[in-house]
Structure 1
Amino acid sequence: MSQDTDLLWLVKETQFDSQKLGKYESILALGNGYMGIRSATEEHYVGEKRDTFVNGTFDQFDDTEVTELPNVPDVFRLRLWVGGYPLDLNTGQLSHYQRTLNLQTGELTREFRWEIGEYALQFASSRFISFADRHVLGTKIVITNLGKKPLPIVFESGIDGQQTNSGSQHFSDGEKRLYKGKTLQYVTETNQSHILVSITANQDFSVGDHSTIEQTRTLMPRRQLLREYTVSLSPSEDLVFEKNAAIYSSRDNDVVYPDQNSLQQAGLKRADELVRDGYVSNLHQSAEAWRKKVWGKMPITIDSNDFMDQLSLNFARYHLHVMTPAHDARMNIGAKGLTGEGYKGHTFWDTELFILPYFIFNYPDIARKLVTYRYHGLAGARRKAAENGYRGAQYPWESSWIEDGESTPIWGPADIITGTPMKIWSGFIEQHITSDVAYGINEYLNATQDNLFGRTYGYEVIFDTARFWTSRMNRSENRQQYDINDVIGPDEYKEHVNNNAFTNYMAYWNMQLAQKLIARLKNEKPEIYRQFDQKMNLQQLAIDLADCLAHLYLPQPNAEQIIPQDDTYLSKKVIDLTPFRNAGKVDEIFDHYNLSQINDMQITKQADVILLLYLFEKSFSSETKRANWDYYEPKTTHDSSLSRLTHSIFAADLGLQDEAWRFYEQARQIDLGNNTNSSNDGVHAAALAGIWNMVIFGFGGIRYLDGTLRITPNLPRKWRSLDFRIWWHQQQLHIHETHDRLEIENLTQTHPVKFTCRENEYELSDRLVISMD
């Protein structure tokens, strides 16, 4: 790489600080969607989180806790003593420190010089998780003696099963064994879900010609399998350690393992193959997979003077692929990806409204798996609806394994006033998730025209989510309308409200979508209609939908064009939010008020009405949009990482360039910025997807509305051009935008593509150039 190219692809830690471990463990994390590992340092420090996750292996510690993604044994574990001194960068003299994540190749490297007592060494390490083979990972460490006398080293590495989820141990002690003097295998099982995990690591250890390996031992403490090497390293010579490992689980879908022995044998066979190829070859295969599957397949280029524009986009895309289980539709994306214990690995509405668009437009095959996951969870959604006295399917606010159903914890942190734990009501009444699921499926169908998916999976979800809403209506005799009472909208600072605008409009849209789909199938695909009617009684559903659509209350703009967020929001107390909007930490307001007090104020946590206006832009006038922006944005604390990205895109739509840019700059720094504690519990998955959303939807002006593609560039003044590709209706489009023109080329050319630009309609067969003057 050239120096300029380095700036676009390398994320660096240039100064070691053991008090700021969490952020770098998260943002430098490695993964491939099957597994993810926080990038803890090789040596150990108080407060570190050595998390390794295998996607889909959810387990419940006991009946008082919800299911979570368990922390599997650590492969990158290392302990090192130099002349009796433990490697600890808080001691001795440290220089030339640098840790670097190469986003292009997925390799993490680290190097430094360390002097302690009469000894001096150069330390260089590298590690990766393979993007070519989901089961493979590796590390290489080189230690060079910089002193003038032999360097006594005790080097200990292996597999460490003492890891927990903040104290909860999800695995049995397991079986440990050493093969052929250098292959370690640790097989363990989750306690409740009984998922077997096999970790096999082949360790190669060598020293220079004049150095000696004085002793090699195998250690098997409780829940650990280790190899210890005692070495005398001569001046200027190297100690070279290479570990190539493979992880398998009984939940894998690429191979079926009938018993534990077959799982063990799969690991041993792969470990032997890896050691024959070696670290460099395994890394090369992984880097080539990154190039072919991601960077070379759907390139995106921002031409600007600030390298952070491109770097932040590359960083976001790297993490989106690191966290996404492209291999398995039984799994989805956690709110923290695979980079930390935050939110227990659970899936939220984040997937449908914020993450899914990236995959729909770039990798529709992966998007199909993400929406298929919701079909696999349909039984759990039906079960939740029935338990709550409703019909149809009520999707869990937090989802984990497809059979687990609602996974939201019941209790949260302490109330600042009462000192008692606060109940987490989201799992009970934040019900817009049900419409959000249908929304994501419909967006996938609109963009891809994947009718087979609709017939096989999607339509059934759309019908049963709509059926849920027909049973969720609250009949208001006084107002002769149907209300949706006692809910939480996107603004989670408002609990137990009636007629949250976002919830009501989304429910209406969900029911209307089902109504239109029933009519279309009945008229155009009568055989498919009959099949669904026999299975789901579409005739009765159509009657219920017509009734609810005729009576559901949809909050309308008042005389000032303000859409009430809920029935009481506009009558609540207004306070000065300046101290909290400018606070250096999230949820600063809870240091001054409890949730009950905040519930009685006009304070919004994140985009609520603004999100509604963004999603349904054709349903509201420009005057209404601007009036609600002016009203709600000053009342929003943006305490959710989802908020600023929505505001940036909406501001770009309104032509508010300065505001769009300000929110874009703030949103892209949530993980990659200077806040040292912002990512301690893991990266913010939806906010990272939001970087792509802001670039492509906000500034690129791409939108898909009711099945129609809209392209209206809103390039920032600081950008010269934006170049990207998208998939639309099975055609790959190459789009190049500047301030004065729009160039579009159909790279697939199997059929024309219709789109709109500035209210004008176009049909693209091969290439078009449109003036933006």
Structure 2
Amino acid sequence: MKDYITTDEWNIIEEGFNPDYHKISESLFSIGNGRMGQRANFEETYSGKTLQGNYIAGIYYPDKTRVGWWKNGYPEYFAKVLNACNWIALEIKVNNEIVDLSTSEVLSFKRILNMKEGYLERETLLRLNNGCVLEIKSTRFYSIVDDECGALKYQITAKNFDGIIHVKSILDGDVKNQDANYGDKFWTQVYQEQIKQQAILTLRTNKTEFDVCTGIETYLVLNGKALENTFEQIQKEKYLASSQTITVKAGDQLSVFKYAANISSENHSKENLVEVCKRTLKNIADKGFAKLLKEQADAWGLKWKTSDILIKGDAKAQQAIRFNIYHLYQTYTGKDVRLNIGPKGFTGEKYGGSTYWDTEAYCVPFYLSTAEQEVSRNLLIYRYRHLPKAIENAEKLGFKNGAALYPMVTMNGEECHNEWEITFEEIHRNGAIAYAIFNYIRYTGDKDYLVDYGLEVLIAIARFWSQRVNWSEQKKRFVILGVTGPNEYENNVNNNWYTNLIASWCLSYATEALAYVEEKAPHVYSALIAKTTFDKITETVRWNEIVENMYYPEDKDLGIVLQQDGYLDKEQMMVRDLDPKHYPIHQNWSWDRILRSCFIKQADVLQGMYFFEDNYDEETLRRNFDFYEARTIHESSLSPCVHSILAAKLGDEKRAYEFYLRTARLDLDDYNNDTQDGLHITSMAGTWMSVVEGFAGMRVRDGYLHFKPMLPEKWESYSFNILFRGFKLNVKVAHDYTIIQNHSIENIKLFVNGSPLLIKAESEKEILSLKKECI
């Protein structure tokens, strides 16, 4: 674990430059706007260790996969979001020496991610080998107002020298992914053009043939006065640059302004990309940097009004929750139904930027409560649009009759993951898709979604489970063999409890959905039955038989369910007894050793009990929580939040807080020694869940909000906003009271600690804590 980020409630601050931490900081200080993003690479030359990364949403390459041995059903490629054209690049020479923090003496360094207003800032004082001392101050952002645009202000102050500063403003499309399986470059040039201070470069992805036109305009200002454009133009394949030399005296300040546009063929016709790029560049250049930055701050202010969580008395916790919320909204805005949320977002190459089940299980709840309903609905429609591909994926594995297996990893609906224990066996992901439909409807009341889209998906998923189970004559039950559950430190197991549970639930929910649509929309129902050739009697009888006779492993002596058959055959060790030098075990142990151990990568049984907690009494939850928590090593970012929520439900404030802090500061403190690869974007939604569903105990039951608040001992109070079925609420929890404000034009009925509460329009209610009431 690392602890080098300064604690601040609204900013992520790095003071002092440590090259060993630079790649971690490149992840932490990443910027984005839902349409595109980039790592916090330096603008000027840097010859030290770095992971260059500029990313455009929806643009990917099917990199031919590398496996030592092939199996039927393996996808031929792993889809990857691409390192795209680098528009921030500058080469700065001072008296003929290249400015490079790796080779210069860094006298002072400060990097700030301003989360409140949405920009990245850096201040650096350095001494070059030639003795020149200069100060660099850079500010850059991706606009969430003009979401195809970015802007950079780069200032150089001559501290102790007269001489020349040579500025080269670069547009570099000759880039590659560091994770390219065969070292290939994925872009070819289509068009380039330079006119005065403007450079335009259109690149096309190999195979997928996406076009992206990137344009920049560069302006120089010396001591507040605009300089005449005397750029020398440089042109190479996939590379354009403009070079200019400026004479300065000690104390002079040279400012470089770069405005950028990334125009994609996903959003515009290929024939018009250059025209649109030029028009966009003119628009933002005419606004100017100051106005663009003001618009950015105002727009982020609006986002924070609905999504902020305010924590009093714990600055580290406050910083962490805002860090997580900020990166979620940098990654996904919900404007485009074709886009989804990669586990690393725009912060790194790991996981390829593809869609995983993380979105449905963790991100949907966050967007349901903090954004307009359309945002979470679009996440569901994304999967609906991929249903034909999910059916194809299942067919490749031998399933039939419209059964669907949604991919573990995808860009376009096709499976593109090729580790057999994941691709073929981690089939519980199908359940997360169905659960998200249920969760969305439960929260919004939008049952029309079931009619228009949801039922068709549920039928296809249920057909998959119906074919994937088999009858065990020995157990006289249906079983599911050869699977990997959420705990990926167990492969090819039989009867993973969570998988069996989610499969059975999917069959029940699909049956309920069929009955609802048949009654409420008979014409839609009839058309769908015909489209899917659904045999209601035969298929639902089979589904019900499976539900009634599903096998669930358990140990009655311990009073727990078993993660899978044979789990107790493993040597039972506690995580607390493991020498910390072994952490993380996936980096220090052989895979054989991991698979033979009892250690759990992430919540597995507890994931199921989180989803369906109302099915279990408190003592059952407690026994299972205590048993599995002691064996869970939390080397998946998705794990601590589930433990935090359940610990809070059980009234275990100490462990709830510990797990909250771990999930919230996972990247800030680099708990798992992997932040340099990129941030854990999807698990960041779990941080929000830990507060709202954990400490505040928010649930939706029978169309009503329920709260069961608790307050961590270290906090004075916390508050958050909730959007729910047209209502906007603010909930504040303190030691002695809870206040719920209804900022809506209608009254709302909800429940606090099981008791009904009516809050009139534009008013609030204060609920005394049980402790205070007793006093």
Q: Which of 762, 769, 772 is matched with 1:772 structurally?
A: 769
Which of 625, 630, 636 is the equivalent residue of 1:629?
625
Partner of 1:435 in structure 2? 431
Residue 159 (structure 1) aligned with residue 171 (structure 2): yes
Shift of 1:215: 6.5
Tell me what 1:413 maps to.
Answer: none
1:337 to 332, 338, 345: 345
Is the contact made by 2:234 and 2:242 (CA closer than 8 Å) also made in structure 1? yes
2:147 corresponding residue in structure 1: 134
Match of 2:105 in 1: 93
CA distance in structure 1 between the partners assigned to 2:578 and 2:87 by the alignment? 42
Structure 1: runs of 5 or more not aligned: 411-422
Q: 1:59 to 1:91 in 2, by over 3 A?
A: closer
Q: Provide Cα deviations, 1:316-354, integer angstroms capped at 9, x if missing partner.
A: 111000111522111100010111101000111111111
Which shifted more, 84-93 or 442-451?
A: 84-93
Query: Does the CA contact (< 8 Å) of 1:300 and 1:723 recur in 2?
Result: yes
Q: Is the 8 A contact 1:580 1:637 kept in 2?
A: no
Letter of the aligned partner of 1:709 in structure 2?
Answer: L
2:551 corresponds in structure 1 to 553
The equivalent residue for 2:296 is 286
Per the normalisation by structure 2, the TM-score is: 0.91
Residues 361-376 of structure 1 aligned to structure 2 (within 5 Å): 361-363=369-371, 364-376=373-385
- Letter matched to residue 318 of structure 1: Y
**Distance (Å, rounded) in 1 between the aligned partners of 2:484 and 2:34:** 31
Contact preservation (8 Å) 1:373, 1:402? no
Q: C-alpha displacement at 1:175, in angstroms?
A: 2.0
Equivalent position of 1:53 in the other structure: 55
Q: Which amino acid aligns with 1:47?
A: K
Say if 1:6 and 1:63 are closer, same or farther in 2 by CA, change over 3 A. Answer: closer
| Structure 2 contact 7–13 (Cα < 8 Å) conserved | no
8 Å contact from structure 1 (residues 557, 624) kept in 2: no
Give the TM-score of the pair, scaled to structure 1: 0.92
Deviations 1:639-695 (A, max 9, x none): 111111111111111111111111222222211126695311110013321211111
Matched, 1:398 2:399: no
Q: 1:326 to 1:611 in 2, by over 3 A?
A: same
**Structure 1 CA distance for aligned equivalents of residues 448 and 633 of structure 2:** 43
User: Is 1:20 matched with 2:21?
Assistant: yes
What is the aligned counterpart of 1:665 among 639, 661, 667?
A: 661
CA distance in 1, matches of 2:48, 2:289: 30
TM-superposition CA deviations, 1:289-312 (whole Å, max 9, x none): 1112x11234432222x2122211
Residue in structure 2 matched with residue 82 of structure 1 by the alignment: 94
Match in the other structure for 1:543: 541
**Aligned-pair RMSD on alpha carbons?**
2.3
Give runs of aligned pairs for residues 116-515 of structure 1, distance below 5 A. 116=128, 117-147=130-160, 149-166=161-178, 167-179=183-195, 181-208=196-223, 216-252=231-267, 256-257=268-269, 259-260=270-271, 262-292=272-302, 294-304=303-313, 306-363=314-371, 364-391=373-400, 392-403=402-413, 405-408=414-417, 410=418, 423-515=419-511
- Structure 1 residue aligned with 2:773: none
Alignment partners' CA distance in 1, 2:743 and 2:41: 43
Name the structure 1 match of 2:708: 712
Structure 1 residues 575, 63: closer, same or farther in 2, change over 3 A? closer
Say if 1:214 and 1:230, in contact at 8 Å, map to a contact too: no
Q: In the alignment, what sits opposite 1:110?
A: 122
Contact kept, 8 Å, 1:353 with 1:436, in 2: the verdict is yes
Q: Amino acid of the residue matched to residue 386 of structure 1?
A: E
The one-letter amino acid paired with 2:15 is T
Are the aligned partners of 1:581 and 1:637 in contact in 2 as well (CA < 8 Å)? no
The answer for the alignment partner of 1:414 in structure 2 is none
Displacement of 1:209: 9.1
Report the alpha carbon displacement of residue 736 of structure 1 after superposing the two structures with TM. 2.0
SS at match of 1:714: coil
Please say which of residues 384-393 and 489-498 is displaced more in the overlay. 384-393
Distance verdict in 2 for CA 1:317–1:225, change over 3 Å = same
Q: For 1:644-683, what aligned pairs fall within 5 Å after superposition?
A: 644-673=640-669, 677-683=673-679
Q: CA deviation at 1:752?
A: 3.5
Which amino acid in the other structure matches residue 752 of structure 2? Answer: C
Over residues 509-560 of structure 1, what are the superposed CA-to-partner deviations in whole Å (9 max), with x where a residue is unaligned?
Answer: 1111111122233344433433332333261432222222122223345232
Count how many residue pairs are aligned between Structure 1 and Structure 2: 743
Change (3 A) 1:571 1:696: same
Deviates more, 1:704-713 or 1:49-58: 704-713
> Structure 1 residues 568, 696: CA separation in 2 closer, same or farther (over 3 Å shift)?
same
For 2:193 and 2:682, how far apart are their aligned partners in 1? 41
Point out the more displaced range, 283-292 or 560-569. Answer: 283-292
Report the Cα offset of residue 700 of structure 1.
1.3
Contact 2:699/2:706 (CA < 8 Å) preserved in 1?
Answer: yes
3-state SS in 1 of match to 2:187? coil
Structure 2: segments with no counterpart, 5+ residues:
1-5, 67-76, 771-775
- Matched residues in 2 for 1:49 and 1:393: separation? 41
Query: Closer, same or farther in 2 for the Cα pair 1:730/1:532, shift >3 Å?
Result: farther
- Report the residue type matching 1:70 in the other structure: L
Q: Quick one: structure 1 residues 494 and 747, their matched pair in 2 at CA, closer, same or farther if it must change by over 3 Å?
A: same
Say whether 1:737 aligns with 2:729: no
Residue 636 of structure 2 corresponds to which residue in structure 1? 640
Shift of 1:763: 4.6
Between the aligned partners of 1:538 and 1:693, the Cα distance in structure 2 is: 40
Alpha-carbon offset, residue 79 of structure 1: 1.3
SS for the counterpart of 1:67 is strand
User: Is 1:728 the counterpart of 2:724 in the alignment?
Assistant: yes
| Cα pair 2:759 2:765 within 8 Å, conserved | yes
> 2:381, 2:453 within 8 Å by CA — same for their partners in 1?
yes
Do the aligned residues in 2 keep the contact of 1:651 with 1:660 (CA within 8 Å)? yes
Partners of 1:209 and 1:131 in 2: how far apart?
27
Q: Secondary structure at the match of 2:347?
A: coil
CA distance in 1, matches of 2:325, 2:765: 28
SS of match in other structure, 2:81 = coil
1: CA distance between counterparts of 2:225 and 2:595?
72
1:213–1:232 Cα contact (<8 Å) kept: no
Letter in 2 for 1:378: L
- Report the CA distance between 1:487 and its aligned residue: 0.5
Change in Cα spacing, 1:354 to 1:214, as seen in structure 2 (3 Å) is closer
Distance 1:596 1:673 in 2: 29
Tell me the secondary structure at the aligned position of residue 206 of structure 1. Answer: strand
What amino acid sits opposite 1:58 in the alignment?
A: Y
Question: 1:72-131 CA distances to partner (integer Å, 9 max, x unpaired)?
Answer: 110111111112222122444322311111001111111122223332222111101001
**Aligned residue identity for 2:220:** F
Partner of 1:569: 567
Note closer, same or farther for the CA distance 1:393–1:732 as it changes in structure 2 (3 Å cut). Answer: farther
Q: In the TM superposition, what are the counterparts of 1:598-613 in structure 2 within 5 Å?
A: 598-613=594-609
Structure 1 residues 558 and 238: alpha-carbon distance in aligned structure 2, compared to 1, 3 A threshold: same
User: Deviations for 1:485-507, whole angstroms, at most 9, x for unmatched residues?
Assistant: 11000111111111101111111
Which secondary structure does the structure 2 equivalent of 1:61 belong to?
Answer: strand
Structure 1 CA distance for aligned equivalents of residues 426 and 278 of structure 2 = 47
Give, as a single letter, the amino acid of the residue that structure 2 aligns with 1:570.
L
Look up the SS of the partner of 2:324 in the other structure. helix
Alpha-carbon displacement from aligned partner over 1:685-731 (angstroms, at most 9, x marks no partner): 13321211111111111123565532100211122222222122332
- Which residue does 1:41 correspond to in 2? 42
| Contact 1:60 1:170 survives alignment (8 Å) | no
CA deviation string 1:408-454 (max 9, x = no partner): 1x2xxxxxxxxxxxx44211110000010110121111111123322
